[in-house]
Structure 1
Amino acid sequence: MTEKNMKQCLKDESFWLRLPFMLLFFIVWRLTELVLIGIILVQIVFRLFKGEPQLQLLQLGSQLTLFSYQVFRYLTFNTEAKPFPFADWPNAQAADANPYVPSEAVNEDATPSEKSINKS
């Protein structure tokens, strides 16, 4: 990298504007991690005592993992698109071949390929 290129990179306004968002999303990701740990523990209790996980927590867990994925992509410079609240909240998706999720719980907004995955 030449000195001219480095100076140009240091003057790149979009990079400097991105840094505070990256810090914010890193903190949000860490908080999301704590919430997911809580969901895991509650789901273990539900599974032990009711024989199946709680459907709303399955959906929330799915949404939070998709949100975390969006945050990771932003933090690693794989996308310029900022995650929620700058974009839509991720739709819940049933787990792959999850026997606990009834077919009527499949997200109606899902794409046809997502619906076929969720029905299997």
Structure 2
Amino acid sequence: MNQSTISQEQVIENLSNKSNWVRLVYMLIYGLALHIAGIIMWLLCTVQFVITMIFGQDNENLRKMAATISDYIHEALAFVSYNSEKKPFPFAKDDAKEPDDSTTSNTHDAEGDDVHENTSAKAKDEPVTIDVEPQAVEDAPTDLPDDKKASDK
């Protein structure tokens, strides 16, 4: 038997913890969602099989939809099994939103490419330089007509 024993007060405290009961409600909702997602997944797999048998190749849109549902099932199962505290759709907090901060000068995406640039704050602090490549300019004629030469003098 375990060396650590649980007292009756600890059990009562655990049973009266509101967050455990709220999680149970979420788990029941996600259990229902998992059941529905499983049915949809079986339907997609069946349709994909039929399409492959008829046309000789799978449907890319159905494959992407199945991958999305598979990801959702994984997230929901991780939450229900206590492997994650992150709630999936529809109760997920939107972590993808970035604060709209107008003081930032550059925002980079995952590959480091510039997504957008705010030049209003930058223009006050630093001079703006513009790199211009020299363009080929046709040489102007060196011999002007005689009447032009005379008028210039």
Aligned residue number for residue 7 of structure 2:
2
Aligned residue number for residue 32 of structure 2:
27
TM (norm. structure 1) is: 0.70
**Structure with the bigger percentage of strand:** 2
Same amino acid, percent of matched pairs: 22
Moved over 2 A (4+): none
Q: Deviations over 1:40-69 (max 9, x none)?
A: 100001111111111111001001011001
Larger radius of gyration: 2
Q: Counterparts of 1:87 and 1:10 in 2: how far apart (Å)?
A: 26
TM (norm. structure 2) is: 0.56
SS in 2 for 1:84: coil
Gaps of 5+ in 2: 1-5, 94-109, 112-153
How far off its partner does 1:87 sit? 2.6
Q: Counterparts of 2:89 and 2:59 in 1: how far apart (Å)?
A: 25
Aligned residue number for residue 13 of structure 1:
18
SS in 1 for 2:26: helix
Q: Please tell me the residue identity of whatever aligns with 1:22.
A: M
Aligned length: 91
How far off its partner does 1:86 sit? 2.2
Aligned residue number for residue 90 of structure 2:
85
How far off its partner does 1:76 sit? 0.6
Q: Which has the higher contact order (CA 8 A, sep 6+)?
A: 1
Q: Please tell me the residue identity of whatever aligns with 2:61.
A: Q
Q: Counterparts of 1:56 and 1:85 in 2: how far apart (Å)?
A: 23
Gaps of 5+ in 1: 89-110, 113-120
Q: Counterparts of 1:80 and 1:45 in 2: how far apart (Å)?
A: 38
